[in-house]
Structure 1
């Protein structure tokens, strides 16, 4: 679990009790950081040179001073078409209140500092992507140990700010292992600078391929170090070459098949980067299939102990909340009203208690509440104790899709695509009425229909039927103030109607709404909200509903990334059938050129589609990736081929 920094304040300057040091030069903080980091890495000159993507990485975020000073230079000197990507790690982040106090004294950073505060993450370990689209700035803020964090990063760094507390007070950070990761993420010409000239730092950086020199330090500091990456002295070993990602040039246009949450999120992430997007939907309107429900619960059901799926869901939840706060601050089609997750069964009660006892998650994310407390919070009598997520809530997926697609770089067309084929470096798309469309880059986002094409037919996608029930009138019903989840879920009324459910039918094919499924949804309400259930009994005329099919995968993780060439993968990595530990040195993973997938989100699309779209857009534009390598591999479309080879299933 991440813990916030233990600090106290000396004349409005934060002081770390753990490292016995100030966070910055108390008298000349701006001048110090500009001299040591911004100017020593020639950042103003790099911006003025019109470098299209400038990527800077830092080893200690602290108060965000280096980020804000760099952003200030960026805003003064950059032009349209340029993008700044800033990456920083922090093992003990400041609390929101402490960061607010630190930034309050630096008025010259407004309004960017306010935007930073609005997106500043909860104290949850992992990757957090913060976006500043108006400024053309992206901040990937990683909460965790510097070495562990950078081991998981996929990026190409232009400049390093080696900040943090001094080697004498924080020796664990300044390690040979970290220097090797810095070298792995660098390229010839990558620069670094740091306030320290300690021998352990100079020797460590030289050993991994940096040319290191000293120069006078700032103010009373006698010396500092800076330098340039020449070569990587450590051999690069790819232990899982089948999960390698192509590194293309950023395209000018992309076509997307599928107008649900996955497609609209992907379109938005690309459009924000200045890319023209053609969004193709076979129905007359966006979000008519699985993304068409009236309301969806916005929260992550957390595992007792961290898992890949739980990490993806938590990262995605926090990312979606930030996106919604930026795009719809008035909460016109969503509500951050909180979510109560009830323990209606004894085994769930034990699981929840274990989750709280393990302490992996901060109170700001999840809290344990009694049935009395949750009844007061929700506005209706609940049946049991449970977990409360104060920053969670509900979203209208349809409205979310339309908001994301309402971007000047996105055009929407209605076509039913039945075949795709690459011809002369372009993708040829054939419609059901034999019309042909062409594009250079193609993303398939049409849920369970994503494997209808020859290039993707190997994907093990499955459709799972679900029905939600909707009350036609909520006037005589209890007035819920928060989302309540048990075996199902119910949200506060939207437009005078309650939406609750949902059924989960692995083999269901029925597309019509049935009374049988209304009864199943009502039964789930009985276990969670008896008062609400009793008010609806015998009032079937109040209920309407909607059916849809979730697109799921065998491991319940989405499918996000480049589309593998099935036959090439089987031939290249076939030795996995005999030896799963075989080292495929020099082998290349072959993918269909400029063909990508974003599907298989199941019932978690609200929290996995936006972060998956950001991952995909970063891949397509060859930018730093917003998720750790373990999660990128876990959603890679090639994983099913590799698993089946190891199992000797193919």
Structure 2
């Protein structure tokens, strides 16, 4: 095949990636995707290609699909590539977007937003840099130093249009140019390799997680968190032992008949909103990889209509819509009349419509994720993990009688607030919040099309039953309660004017959400509060951790969308891969963030 515009870093130096397990390439400008398609094709054509290729691409704005179509028409071999990419193309919203291609052997991470700002948020060890186009030339000079902190050993760099100042900055960052820089014009393509004068350096890719060559893990908990962890690890070739005290998966908070999935919006696009957007979009992609909602697991991408609380709230949301102008395939603001038409029943106000959102039966999703693991997953149902012991370089999990259930170098706690029973996790700021869901016969409520939500939610019928919820109670009663049901129905009546519940039988389910004090999950290596820290003014990466012990906890009421992204984030850390989200967002989820705050306040003694 003849590639329309050869890619210097690959076509001229094909051995750089050959016979590698994994290879990471950073492209300064995705543009219309031509360089990406060329790289993809070159990788497919090379029999000695790396098993996994990570392609990180910066772009201020997402390319339109018709632009990709025009580029793919340049080569017949690109047509099938374009079709696969098109099916996974994300909405044009800011942030990092991880896209799986070629059975997850090719992983494209699109980083939408200011390129220099995105560059500072990358956590990766990059094997090849490709700086081309114009966007990188607008970066502030210090941004080029970041390339040195991202560079893996012997990394290559291909660059065009370099001025002397930029070349000197790159040389200071540790890159050595292979041609005479003084003879190069601004339009010449130059190649450099990473050869820093000092090998000991702090890198932007430092994380608290240890990269494990022995890919065996134990996961405790077979709800959404644990099932997703098994799926993401097995996909990478890990062998996993799953320990669950119940005889089937998804028996705690993940056992509801229907859970809704949608993103969270905010005017300031705060970390919570950014994280929910990433989690929501990533979940949609993982579910497509698993076969799709309503196909391999129960649910429907029927859309979610989030109704404003009152007129004042609606006015604020209208201003938010005017400010952000979200793409229609992500979120649309509808006035009351349009919202009522969409719902198929009168609603109390305007609302946000998320067309790709909907509902899923969590238990069926857990089952699908576990079944996808095949024989690399060993499940220990009906066994309660009671004791955790560190044995040399592994963790051993014992039951309440002291019998060993499993051992492995990596142990992941994905059992919600039950994790607090272990001494290693006892101080985590987690609490159980009671949630009661009401089940109604579908004939007792209006026949809605999308999920309705606001102060309450109502799902379309599943096997003749609609779910209404959910209460937010600070008590430990595990049985159904009339006052919680009455409150659920009263909140629903506020969304559906003219509808009254009447006398209905007490029916539903009680579950307990695991919630952290700051309402964000705890994802990553668990801190050891009694461990020593050699740095006086420590950062997250400096804090002591329990070797090989990790958590996937605190998903609150958003476990459906949190589970895939959290598992991907942890699996990426354990494998030394580029992270799927920005560095500051990963830090916001680090379980050691609470210990860091305590030590900075001087409230936690150090040895």
Q: Does TM, normalized by the shorter one, top 0.5?
A: yes
1:284 partner SS: coil
* Greater alpha carbon shift after TM alignment, 384-393 vs 73-82: 73-82
Is 1:515 aligned with 2:482? yes
Say if 1:341 and 1:141 are closer, same or farther in 2 by CA, change over 3 A: same
Is 1:258 aligned with 2:206? no
CA contact (8 A) 1:250 1:622 kept: no
The 5 A counterparts of 1:119-158 are 119-132=88-101, 134=103, 136-158=105-127
Match of 2:446 in 1: 478
Is 1:32 aligned with 2:1? no
* Greater alpha carbon shift after TM alignment, 176-185 vs 593-602: 176-185
CA contact (8 A) 2:20 2:50 kept: no
Match of 2:430 in 1: 461
Q: Deviations over 1:541-562 (max 9, x none)?
A: 4x62011000001100100001
Is 1:342 aligned with 2:307? yes
Is 1:65 aligned with 2:34? yes
Structure 1 residue runs without a partner (length 5+): 1-27, 576-581
Q: Which of 461, 481, 487 is equivalent to 2:455? A: 487
Say if 1:29 and 1:499 are closer, same or farther in 2 by CA, change over 3 A: farther
Q: Which of 235, 241, 244 is equivalent to 1:281? A: 244
Say if 1:325 and 1:188 are closer, same or farther in 2 by CA, change over 3 A: closer
Match of 2:272 in 1: 309
Matched residues in 2 for 1:197 and 1:95: separation?
Answer: 29
Structure 2 residue runs without a partner (length 5+): none
Q: Deviations over 1:282-325 (max 9, x none)?
A: 10110110111111111012122111111111110111111122
Matched residues in 2 for 1:589 and 1:476: separation?
Answer: 55
CA contact (8 A) 2:24 2:125 kept: yes
Match of 1:552 in 2: 515
1:85 partner SS: strand
Cα offset for 1:421? 1.0
Matched residues in 2 for 1:315 and 1:295: separation?
Answer: 22
* Greater alpha carbon shift after TM alignment, 303-312 vs 640-649: 640-649
1:498 partner SS: strand
Match of 2:52 in 1: 83
Match of 2:331 in 1: 366
Over the aligned positions, Cα root-mean-square deviation in angstroms equals 2.8
1:279 partner SS: strand
* Greater alpha carbon shift after TM alignment, 73-82 vs 326-335: 73-82
Match of 1:92 in 2: 61
Is 1:643 aligned with 2:597? yes
Match of 2:177 in 1: 212
Say if 1:307 and 1:584 are closer, same or farther in 2 by CA, change over 3 A: closer
CA contact (8 A) 1:468 1:503 kept: yes
* Greater alpha carbon shift after TM alignment, 247-256 vs 598-607: 247-256
Q: Deviations over 1:612-646 (max 9, x none)?
A: 11000001111111111111111111111111223
Match of 1:6 in 2: none
Q: Which of 371, 376, 382 is equivalent to 2:347? A: 382
1:259 partner SS: coil
Matched residues in 2 for 1:75 and 1:136: separation?
Answer: 10
Is 1:353 aligned with 2:318? yes
Matched residues in 1 for 2:602 and 2:104: separation?
Answer: 51
The 5 A counterparts of 1:614-629 are 614-629=568-583
Match of 1:172 in 2: 138
Matched residues in 2 for 1:604 and 1:347: separation?
Answer: 26
Cα offset for 1:396? 1.5
Q: Deviations over 1:404-435 (max 9, x none)?
A: 11121322212200110101211111112322
* Greater alpha carbon shift after TM alignment, 376-385 vs 319-328: 319-328
Is 1:248 aligned with 2:216? no
Matched residues in 1 for 2:197 and 2:34: separation?
Answer: 30
Matched residues in 2 for 1:557 and 1:443: separation?
Answer: 18
2:342 partner SS: helix
Say if 1:253 and 1:513 are closer, same or farther in 2 by CA, change over 3 A: same
Say if 1:350 and 1:177 are closer, same or farther in 2 by CA, change over 3 A: same
Aligned residues: 595
Matched residues in 1 for 2:48 and 2:248: separation?
Answer: 37
Match of 1:5 in 2: none
CA contact (8 A) 2:100 2:107 kept: yes
Matched residues in 1 for 2:190 and 2:590: separation?
Answer: 40
1:205 partner SS: helix
Say if 1:360 and 1:184 are closer, same or farther in 2 by CA, change over 3 A: farther
CA contact (8 A) 1:208 1:232 kept: no
Say if 1:353 and 1:461 are closer, same or farther in 2 by CA, change over 3 A: same
Is 1:46 aligned with 2:16? yes
Say if 1:588 and 1:504 are closer, same or farther in 2 by CA, change over 3 A: closer
Cα offset for 1:252? 2.3
